[in-house]
């Protein structure tokens, strides 16, 4: 059944530009895919490693500013600029992991919040590099293999391929023995240490991988918007990513995707009809916590089992 549902989902995603019939919905689907990539990367920390972060938008901003600055100020092409951006994201994740993993629980959350605010402050004040409030604009989208991504439909398929690569990579990694050690470090850290595992190193590697994947999401973000500003590194953006993970279902593969769909639809569709859409988002989140404490993915699976049981 899971394979059938996965096949149907892939076919629907491939046919979405035809089914949508409107460029607006194609662009919205691209935004959902990019948000889902960021949620998947954060889920490595929140869901699998048990480390709640409130500074994950910083990795998006580091990669986005890195590629934007190298293209606009140095005149580099998209590929070398992307390599530089991902390398900078890797370096920042390595350093931030060394700092943040000195603590756990609420202390870890507050450290990541502080680190994220440091990056936001740099983006806001370092005007010679970031442009301050004005940000960096005038960017272009890449043309892989000579295919222009300027139009919404080609960019959607490009975002879909990158998203599937990220989702598949996370699925394979979490299904590996190292993925089991990550979950073991979350559930029984002392027992894992007694068995000879280096819990700190496992968490640090997970933090670094989550940061690099967040940087990849930042590349897709700046390619889509062709603009980057300090708002992208804000606390509100990090909280929005965390909300996607929790609402969809932390520690699952489908949960962050469902959470990204929910948040982005409320943000882009419901806001057109309801002025206080953030209040609606809060109500929806409260209802999910009350009646689906494991998130949408867990709640849907439980509902499916109940329906099958009633049918039997």
The total number of structural domains in the chain stands at 1
At residue 2, the pLDDT reads 73
Minimal CA–CA distance to 225: which of 149, 120, 166, 148?
Answer: 149
Q: Is residue 59 over pLDDT 80?
A: yes
- Give residue 273's pLDDT band: very low, low, confident or very high (50, 70, 90): confident
277-303 pLDDT per residue, tens? 788 888 888 888 888 888 888 888 888
- Quick check: is 190 in a domain? yes
Q: How far is CA 178 from CA 37, 79, 165, 198, in A?
A: 21, 31, 19, 12
Cα–Cα distance for residue pair 89/57, rounded to 1 Å: 11
**Is-contact 101 200, C-beta < 8 A?**
yes
Rg (CA), the chain: 20
| Contact (Cβ atoms closer than 8 angstroms) between residue 47 and residue 259 | no
Query: What number of residues does the chain have?
Result: 312
Domain assignment present for 95: yes
Beta bridge partners of 136: 228
pLDDT tops 90 at residue 115: yes
Q: Average the pLDDT over 5-30 and give the result.
A: 88
Q: Tens digit of pLDDT for each residue in 75-102?
A: 899 999 999 999 999 999 999 999 999 9
Judge whether 39 lies within some domain. yes
* Residue 13 counted as domain residue: yes
Helix H or strand E encompassing 125 = helix 106-125
In a domain, 120, yes or no: yes
Helix, strand or coil for residue 199? helix
DSSP class of residue 258 equals H
Residue 124: count of CB within 10 angstroms of its CB? 16
pLDDT in tens, 136-192: 988 989 998 888 899 999 999 999 999 999 999 999 999 999 999 999 999 999 999
Q: Which residues pair with 228 in a beta bridge?
A: 136
Q: Band of the pLDDT at 18, cuts 50, 70, 90?
A: confident
Q: How many Å apart are CA 247 and CA 59, to the nearest integer?
A: 22
How many CA atoms lie less than 13 Å away from 214 in the CB half-sphere? 35
Determine if the pTM surpasses 0.85.
Answer: yes
Structural domain contains residue 299: no
CA angle 110–116–121, rounded 5-degree value: 125
pLDDT category, 30, cuts 50, 70, 90? very high
Stretch 48-62: mean pLDDT, rounded? 93
- pLDDT by residue (tens digit) across 217-262? 999 999 999 999 999 999 989 999 999 999 999 999 999 999 999 9
The owner of tokens 């990220």 is 166
Three-state SS for 111?
helix
Instruction: Take residue 22 and report the two structure tokens written for it.
Output: 């409107």
3 has a pLDDT exceeding 90: no
Domain assignment present for residue 17? The answer is yes
Question: Region 119-143: what's the mean pLDDT?
Answer: 90
Per-residue pLDDT at 124 exceeds 80? yes
User: Structural domain of residue 219, as residue ranges?
Assistant: 2-234
What percentage of the chain exceeds 70 in pLDDT?
A: 100
Provide the token pair at 212: 């690099």
- Identify whether 69 is part of a domain: yes
């Amino acid at each position: 059944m899971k394979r059938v549902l996965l096949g149907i989902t892939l076919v629907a995603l491939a046919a979405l530009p035809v089914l949508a019939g409107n460029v607006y919905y194609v662009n919205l689907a691209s935004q959902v895919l990019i948000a889902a990539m960021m949620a998947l990367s954060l889920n490595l920390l929140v869901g699998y490693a048990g480390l709640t972060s409130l500074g994950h938008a910083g990795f998006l901003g580091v990669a986005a500013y890195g590629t934007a600055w190298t293209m606009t100020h140095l005149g580099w092409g998209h590929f070398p600029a992307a390599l530089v951006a991902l390398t900078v994201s890797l370096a920042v994740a390595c350093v931030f992991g060394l700092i943040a993993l000195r603590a756990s629980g609420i202390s870890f959350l507050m450290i990541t919040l502080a680190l994220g605010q440091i990056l936001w402050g740099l983006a806001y004040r370092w005007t010679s590099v970031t442009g301050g409030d004005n940000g960096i604009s005038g960017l272009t989208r890449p043309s892989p293999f000579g295919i222009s991504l300027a139009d919404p439909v080609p960019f959607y398929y490009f975002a879909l391929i990158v998203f599937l690569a990220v989702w598949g990579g996370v699925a394979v990694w979490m299904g590996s023995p190292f993925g089991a050690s990550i979950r073991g470090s979350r559930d029984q850290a002392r027992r894992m240490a007694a068995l000879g595992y280096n819990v700190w190193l496992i968490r640090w590697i997970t933090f670094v991988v989550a940061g690099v994947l967040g940087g990849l999401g930042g590349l897709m973000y700046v390619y889509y918007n062709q603009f980057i500003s300090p708002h992208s590194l804000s606390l509100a953006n990090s909280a929005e990513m965390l909300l996607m993970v929790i609402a969809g279902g932390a520690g699952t593969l489908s949960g962050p995707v469902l959470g990204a769909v929910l948040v982005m639809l409320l943000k882009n569709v419901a806001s057109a009809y309801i002025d206080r859409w953030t209040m609606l988002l809060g109500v929806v989140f409260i209802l999910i916590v009350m009646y689906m404490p494991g998130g949408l993915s867990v709640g849907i699976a439980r509902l499916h089992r109940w329906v099958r049981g009633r049918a039997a």
